[in-house]
Structure formats: structure tokens, C-alpha cells
Chains A and B, each alone.
Chain A
């Protein structure tokens, strides 16, 4: 099994060397799928339209800053 293919050596050797990894053959695809799903999960949120309240809050904050920084020193 190890060294079967040359073009994916980095991954192969990583699996072989990992020792504790013992990635089962069936898990190779699972592993790819996990990376894919992880991005899918994240991108799903990224693609959502920005809720209006975010934009309104930022707009408001900018107005305050433009008006001379009042309220900008809200830190304790």
C-alpha cells in the first residue's frame, strides 16, 4: 500500500509515517469529503446576504465618528 503511487507522495508518506494515524482505505475519501464539507459549511454562511442590522450599526458608528468622535471613548 505505501508508495503505491508517486504523484501523491506527500500525502502517502504522511499517512504512512503518521503511525498513529492508521487511516483506513475507506477513510481516504471521507477525509477529502470532510475538507470539502468544512468549506461548504463556512461558505454557506459567507454567501448569506449581510443582515441589515450589521450595516446599520456600522453606519451609525461611522456617523458618530464623523460628528467628532463622541461616544468613541466608550472604553471603561
Chain B
């Protein structure tokens, strides 16, 4: 008999993950309403599949896998294409997002939209989602090296788009966190190189 997390603690842990499911879904869909729809489906699917969750493993990574599979599943294809129409997506993002967002944040959002899905998700999961490369590789069902190179390519592409838009990032605040991310990215560069 396999060990199982009891329903109450599973529910508590799952509830704590809802904000992350919403954030990951938002980054995949762009559109906030569709993203919540996806996040809800993922949450319910995770609940129903709770017997297959291995106690002690990372529930965030587990639920992200479920959410991502839903996003890419056949059934979802029609609406997942919607936000990838750049004009619709930009209008939606600008309309739905926090009006207090800085221009820099909007530029980043727009740059992210131009990335291939697999690069965008890798960059978000590693850079913002707080997951390890190994976990992201599991979620995306590919090799760790693949994730590293996707993140590296995504980062370069985003910078290129932002540079071309002439956006200036002059903010010096919170550089500590930014530098931590830089270190991470430097590791990606090194580890993703062949040899």
C-alpha cells in the first residue's frame, strides 16, 4: 500500500499553490481570464489525481506539470493560439494588466510574447518560478541541457527585442536580486555549452 498524503493536508498545500498556478498560467496564456480558467482546471485535476502524488516530492512542480499538459493538450489548442496573435495579445495584456505597471514591465511582457512557447516557459519557470533546472526539465519533459539552452536563448532574444525597442533600463534599485539572477544566467551560459 502506497503512502498517501491525507486529503486535508493535500488541500492545504494545493491552496497555497493556487497563486503560483495562476502566475504560471498567466505567463503561458497572456490573457488573464483564460489563464484563470486553465489554472482552475489544473487545480481540480491535481485534486482528482492526488492519490498519485508522491509524498515528500515537490507539489509545485507536480501541479505545474499538470497545468502545462493541459495547456498543450489537444483540447486546449484552439484557445491557446488566441493569445499568440500578437495584436490580440498585446491589446489583451495592456488592457488586463495592472495599470501601474512600468513601461519596462510592459516591454518585457511584449518581448516574452514574441518568444516561442518553449523558451518562454523555460525562462519563466527558471527565472521567476523558483524551480530547479531538473524540476523544470521534468515539467517540460525534456533534458536538463535543453532547458538550459532554451533559457539562454530566451534571455538573449528578450534582450535583443528590448534593445531594439530602445527601452532603457536605468533602475539601480534591487540590483542584488537582479545580480543573483545574473549569476544564474551565467551558469546557464556555461553549462549549456557543449563540451
Q: How many positions in chain B have a CB within 8 Å of any CB in the partner chain?
A: 55
- Cβ of B156 and Cβ of A30 under 8 Å apart? no
- B interface, CB within 8 angstroms of A: 7, 11, 14-15, 18-20, 22-23, 26-27, 36, 39-40, 43-44, 47-48, 98, 101, 104-105, 108-109, 123-124, 127-129, 155-156, 158-159, 162-163, 167, 169-171, 174-175, 177-187, 189-190, 193
Closest residue to A32 on the B side, CB-wise? B178
* B contact patch SS: helix
**Do B182 and A32 touch across chains, with their CB atoms under 8 A apart?**
yes
A61–B19 contact, CB under 8 A? no
Mostly, the A contact residues are: helix
State A65–B7 Cα separation when bound (angstroms).
9
Smallest Cβ distance from A30 to chain B, in angstroms? 5
Partner of B189, one of A14, A62, A75: A14
How many chain A residues have a CB neighbour from B under 8 Å?
Answer: 46
| Contact B23 A10, beta carbon cutoff 8 Å | no
